Amino acid sequence: MKVLLVDDAVFIRMSLKKILQDSKHDFTFVEASSGLEAIDKYKAYKPDLVIMDITMPEMDGITAVQKIKEVDANAKIIMCSSMGYQEKVVDAVTAGALDFIVKPYDPVKIMASIEKVMQL
């Protein structure tokens, strides 16, 4: 499964990648550090799943989700953000995200979210 990891923090992308690599699933990765880059990478690589941060420079994750959904209405996107941003869940789901995970990441919750979203 091809996963697009979108976060402006390299450490967060590395952490997510490590969690996914340690799972029983076979993932390949594409990375982006901004919402604008995420849209370009989505168009170029057509990933099966996007895991996207909300707060990023240039273009926030919610706007990027809206743009990706314009390109592919069936895009499977999980939003993520730090504690304290739970009010953004409604905005993320309204934009088209299928689930929402909170940092710091719990590997069990991440894998449960991925499995839930990929069954949709």
Q: Could you state, in order of their start, the residue ranges of all structural domains in the chain?
A: 2-118
Instruction: Average the pLDDT over 70-93 and give the result.
Output: 84
Q: How confident is the model at residue 38 (pLDDT cuts 50, 70, 90)?
A: very high
33 neighbors 55 (Cβ within 8 angstroms)? no
In this predicted structure, what is the pLDDT of residue 76? Answer: 97
Q: How many residues does the chain have?
A: 120
Q: Across residues 27-44, what is the average pLDDT?
A: 97
- The structure tokens 């979108």 sit at 6
- Coil, strand, or helix at residue 49? strand
* pLDDT classification of 94: cutoffs 50, 70, 90: confident
CATH T-level fold of 2-118: Rossmann fold (3.40.50)
Q: Which residue, among 73, 75, 87, has the nearest Cα to 6 in the 3D structure?
A: 75
- Calculate mean pLDDT across residues 97-108: 89
The C-alpha atoms of residue 65 and residue 76 are separated, in whole angstroms, by 10
Tell me the two tokens of residue 87. 């009010």
Can you give the pTM of this predicted structure?
0.93
Q: Is the peptide bond preceding residue 57 cis, with omega within 30 degrees of 0? A: no
* 3-class SS letters over 16-27: HHHHHHCCCCCC
Instruction: Please provide the average confidence, as pLDDT, over all residues in the chain.
Output: 91
Whether residue 120 is predicted with pLDDT greater than 60 in this model: the reply is: no
Whether 79 has a pLDDT exceeding 90, the answer reads: yes
